[in-house]
Amino acid sequence: MEEKLIPDPCLLGPLQLAYIGDAVYEIYVRNYLLSNGNINSSRLQQRAEKLVKAQAQHEALQIIAPLLNEEECRIVHRGRNQKHKSKPKNATAQEYNSATGLESLVGYLYLHRRLNRLDEIIQTIFNETCQDV
Q: Which of 8, 22, 119, 132 is catalytic?
A: 22
Answer left, alpha or beta for residue 13, where phi above 0 means left and psi between -120 and 50 means alpha: beta
22 annotated active-site: yes
DSSP for 67-129 reads G--HHHHHHHHHHHH---SSPPSSS-HHHHHHHHHHHHHHHHHHHTT-HHHHHHHHHHHHHHH
Question: Nearest Cα to 13, choosing from 73, 95, 103, 99?
Answer: 103
Number of separate helices (H) and strands (E) present in the chain: 6, 0
Q: Write out the catalytic residue numbers.
A: 22
